[in-house]
Amino acid sequence: MLKSVKDFYEAYPYPQLPIKTKEDLLSKMHGNVMREILATTGKDASFFAGKSVLEAGCGTGEKCVYFALHGANVSGVDISGASLSHGKKLAKKFEVAVKFSNKDVLLLDSNSEFDYIYSLGVLHHTENPKKGFENIARALKRGGLVTIGLYSKSGRFLHRLHRAQIALFAGKSPKERMEYVEKNIYGRKLREGVEEAYVADKYAHPYESYHTVGEVLKWFKENGIEPIACHPRCGFGFGSRKLEQMNWLLKRKTFFVMSGRKI
């Protein structure tokens, strides 16, 4: 599985956001994505100035550079050399220091090193998401914060059916799936860069798994992580979280983010 996922991101580095200026980066990151993510930690980006931050699965590095611009000491790891190349160019363009490393999250071997670790849309593309989270928790300092983002088992249900349909007619090869999507969904050739990367990640990724809030709460408990908050909003009690996740299906909320603190 690792090879197929690595090969996929070498062909389609993700997300390749079209960033022109520092202001452009800060605006795109803070507009929705980082505001919602950081809200689950109870902090804003300025809180991490001077702190050690790790992005586990950093892709093309936009979020790494975002935190570096806010004064954090940032590291980013990813399995894709092509993605890391984009990140390095972006960091150099904006004259910030980010320590990028070509590494698999499942082989992460740091111990109590970071004040904040986030991993968004990464663990569900590995063969063992729980092990990946255990590695992340081990790398976190006591009192440190962690944020993970995963595909929702309920919220992504309809999209899972769509992916299954594409696989049925186009096969397992990302290249064949992309050709099918271009012809049958978009009706045109996709533009290289951000559009192609987005569509490939959505429809042609070779592997993804699906998760629940209850599952992540169990990971947190087993690794000494105290939950803080979830986005979209979800209670941590059994009944409330079940109802909220059913609502995600109706609202097509396919992705959820949870943050916690290491105790």
For residue 246, is pLDDT > 90?
Answer: no
Please tell me the predicted confidence (pLDDT) of residue 29: 86
- Contact between 228 and 42 (Cβ < 8 Å): yes
Number of domains in the chain: 2
Between residues 237 and 110, the one the model is more confident about: 110
User: With pLDDT > 70 as the criterion, what percentage of the chain qualifies?
Assistant: 98
Q: Which domain holds residue 42?
A: 2-153+209-262
Say whether both 72 and 39 belong to one domain: yes
Q: Scanning the structure block, which residue is given the tokens 């050739």?
A: 189
Please tell me the predicted confidence (pLDDT) of residue 32: 65
Say whether both 195 and 132 belong to one domain: no
Please tell me the predicted confidence (pLDDT) of residue 57: 98
Q: Residue 36 — very low, low, confident or very high, per pLDDT cuts 50/70/90?
A: confident
- Contact between 97 and 53 (Cβ < 8 Å): no
Say whether both 134 and 167 belong to one domain: no
Report how far apart the first and last C-alpha atoms of the chain are (Å, whole number). 33
Please tell me the predicted confidence (pLDDT) of residue 255: 95
pLDDT 10s digits, 84-126: 999 999 999 999 999 999 999 999 999 989 999 999 999 999 9
Say whether both 19 and 134 belong to one domain: yes
Say whether both 124 and 12 belong to one domain: yes
Q: Which residues pair with 117 in a beta bridge?
A: 54, 146
What backbone phi and psi angles, to 5 degrees, belong to 9?
Answer: -75, -20
pLDDT 10s digits, 175-222: 999 999 999 999 999 999 999 999 999 999 999 999 999 999 999 999
CATH of the domain at 218: 3.40.50.150
Say whether both 45 and 115 belong to one domain: yes
- Contact between 77 and 56 (Cβ < 8 Å): yes
What's the whole-number mean pLDDT along residues 117-137?
Answer: 98
How far, in Å, CA of 181 to CA of 27, rounded?
31
> What is the average pLDDT score of the chain?
94
Say whether both 64 and 113 belong to one domain: yes
Please tell me the predicted confidence (pLDDT) of residue 129: 98
